[in-house]
Amino acid sequence: MLKLTHMKTSETLIAKLKTKKARIAVIGLGYVGLPLAVEKAKMGFSVVGLDVNKARVDMVNKGECYIPDVVDGALAELVKTKKLRATLDFSVLKKVDAICICVPTPLDENKDPDISYIEATTKQVAKYLHKGQLVSLESTTYPGTTEEIMLPELEKTGLKVGKDFFLVFSPERVDPGNKQFNLKNTPKVIGGVTKTCSEVARNLYGQIIDNIMIVSSPKVAEMEKLLENIYRSVNIALVNELAMLCRKMKIDMWEVVDAAATKPYGFMPFYPGPGIGGHCIPLDPIYLSWKAKKYGFNTEVIELAARINEDMPEYVIRLVKDALAGKKKNIEGAKVVLLGMAYKKDINDWRESPAIKLFEILKKYKANVVYHDPFIPSLKIEGKAERSVKLTDSLIKSADCLLIATNHTCFDYKKMIKNAKLIVDTRGATRKFGKFKNVEVL
Ligand SMILES: NC(=O)c1ccc[n+]([C@@H]2O[C@H](COP(=O)([O-])OP(=O)(O)OC[C@H]3O[C@@H](n4cnc5c(N)ncnc54)[C@H](O)[C@@H]3O)[C@@H](O)[C@H]2O)c1
C-alpha cells in the first residue's frame, strides 16, 4: 500500500511534466535562471520566475530583457501570452510542481564559499514544500551541498525525499555568448538523492534538452561540474605559464598551441590571456579546495593554477611597461586605452574580469587610463564610476598604448594596427592580420 502511494506521487508528477501541465518555478533570474525560465516557457510550461531583486522582477514583467543570451522579443511574447511572469513573492511555490534554483554562489570576505543564497532559498522552498514537488539545484557548489545542506532542511517538513518530494543536483552549463551550444544541445547531468528523484528530473529536463546523463548521486554531479571548471582553470594556467617561458625563449606560444591543436585526439587548445574572470572559473575551484580541507586534503594543482592565473594581470602590465619603455615612455602619465572590460568576448559580464585588475594596476602606476567596451557603457572600479569612452581615430592615434584585454568581435583591429603607436594584445586578436612592429602579443 505504501509502495503504491510512493509510485503514485512520482508518476503523477512525471505525467504532469510529460504533458507540460506541470507549473515550474525558476529561482534566481540571472545569467542562468532567466534563459532557463524562457526556454521552459517556450516549451509550453507555465513558468514563474522568483528573484529578490525588484528591478529584475519588474523588467521581466514588462517583457524587458537584461541578459544578452535571451533573444529580443522572446521574453515579451511569453509575458504577453502569460506563459512567464516574475514575482518577489515566494508563496507562489505553493502552487508549483518543479523548482529550479539558480541563485549565486560567490565567495565571502574571507574568500570561502558563500552558500548563504542557497541556504536562504532552501528555507523559502521548505516553507512551501508539498507532496509531489521536484526541487533541482543548478547553482555550482561543493560536493555535499544538496544532501548535507538542502536535504535536512527540506525533510524538517516531515516530507520524505524520493517518496513525497524529489531532490536533485543538476548543474547549469550555459556558456554566455556561445552561438553553437545552447540549453537544448548541451547534455545535462542529473544526480538525484534517490533513483526516483533522478527519473522525475529526467522528465523535467528531457523535454527541452536532447541528451540527459543520470549519475549515481548529487555528489557526483556536484563534483563533475567542478571538474569541468577546474579543468579550464588548470589548462589556462598551463598555457599562461608556457607563454611566459616562450617569451623568454622567443617562441610564439600561440603558434605552438595552434600546432598542437592539429593533433586529432588527446589535446584540446587553450590560449594565453590576461587572467580568468566571470562567476565560474575563478571561484568554483575554491569551492572544492575549501571542502577538500575539511578532509585534510590540499588541492595543490588547483591552488597553483589559481595563483598563476591571478598573477597574469601584473605580468601583462609589466609587458606594457617594457613596451612603453621601448618607446622611451614612462608608464606614469602614459595614456592607455583598455579595450574590453568583459571577462570574455561579446558579452556584457564583467564580474571578476581581469580587465578590472588591469585598470586598477594601471591606476596604481599613475597611468592615464580610460576604457572602451561597447557592451559595458559604465561600471564601478574601486568604488568609482567609470564610463566607456568613444574609440575615435584621434584617441587611437594619441594613445601611448592600446591594451586589448577582451577580443570583442566588433573591434576594428585593422584600424587599430594601422593607427596606434603601440598595442599590447593579450588575446591574440591581431594575429590573423600578421605580425607588426607596433603590436606586442602576450
Ligand atoms: N553565468 C554563468 O555563465 C554560469 C554558468 C554555469 C553555472 N553558473 C552558476 O549558476 C549560478 C547562478 O549564476 P548567475 O551567473 O546566473 O548569477 P546572477 O548573479 O546572474 O543571477 C543570480 C540571480 O539570483 C538572484 N537571487 C539572489 N538571491 C536570491 C534569493 N535568495 N532568492 C531568489 N533570487 C535570488 C539575484 O538577484 C540574481 O538575479 C551560480 O552558482 C553560478 O556559479 C553560472
Where are the domains positioned within the chain? 2-216, 231-441
Q: Looking at ligand 1, which residue's alpha carbon is closest to its atom 27?
A: 103
Q: What is the mean pLDDT of residues 29-35?
A: 93
The share of the chain scoring above pLDDT 90, in percent, equals 92
For 116-153, give the secondary structure using H, E and C: HHHHHHHHHHHHHCCCCEEEEECCCCCCCHHHHHHHHH
Distances from the Cα of 239 to the Cα of 157, 371, 442, angstroms: 50, 27, 11
3-state class (DSSP) for residue 30 = coil
- Considering the four listed CATH numbers 2.40.30.10, 3.40.50.720, 3.30.1780.10, 3.30.1330.10, the one that applies to the domain covering 231-441 is 3.40.50.720
Q: What is the mean pLDDT of residues 122-149?
A: 98
Looking at CATH, the fold of the domain delimited by 2-216 is given as: Rossmann fold (3.40.50)
Q: Looking at ligand 1, which residue's alpha carbon is closest to its atom 43?
A: 140
On whether the CB atoms of residues 204 and 136 are closer than 8 A, the answer is yes
On whether the CB atoms of residues 362 and 371 are closer than 8 A, the answer is no
Q: Which alpha helices (H) appear in 74-115, and where do they start and end?
A: 74-80
Per-residue pLDDT at 336: 98
On whether the CB atoms of residues 50 and 34 are closer than 8 A, the answer is no
Q: Looking at ligand 1, which residue's alpha carbon is closest to its atom 5?
A: 174
Question: Distance from the CA of 33 to the center of ligand 1, in angstroms?
Answer: 7
Q: What is the largest CA-CA distance in the chain?
A: 86
Dist. CA 29–CA 128, nearest whole Å:
20
Q: Which of 26, 27, 29, 32 to mutate to test the pocket of ligand 1 (most atoms within 8 A of CB)?
A: 32
Q: What is the mean pLDDT of residues 269-273?
A: 97
Question: Distance from the CA of 140 to the center of ligand 1, in angstroms?
Answer: 9
Per-residue pLDDT at 6: 52
Helices and strands: H and E segment counts in the chain: 14, 15
**Identical fold at 2-216 and 231-441?**
yes
On whether the CB atoms of residues 381 and 360 are closer than 8 A, the answer is yes
| Ligand 1 site, residue 139, Cβ cutoff 6 A | yes
Q: What is the dihedral of CA 381, 383, 385, 391, to 10 degrees?
A: -10
Predicted TM-score (pTM) of this structure:
0.92
Catalytic residues: 280
Q: What is the dihedral of CA 371, 348, 75, 138, to 10 degrees?
A: -160
C-alpha cell read off for 197: 528523484
Average pLDDT of the residues of the chain: 95
Q: Identify which of 124, 122, 119 has the alpha carbon closest to the alpha carbon of residue 87.
A: 124
Q: In this model, does residue 321 exceed pLDDT 70? A: yes
C-alpha cell read off for 220: 557526483
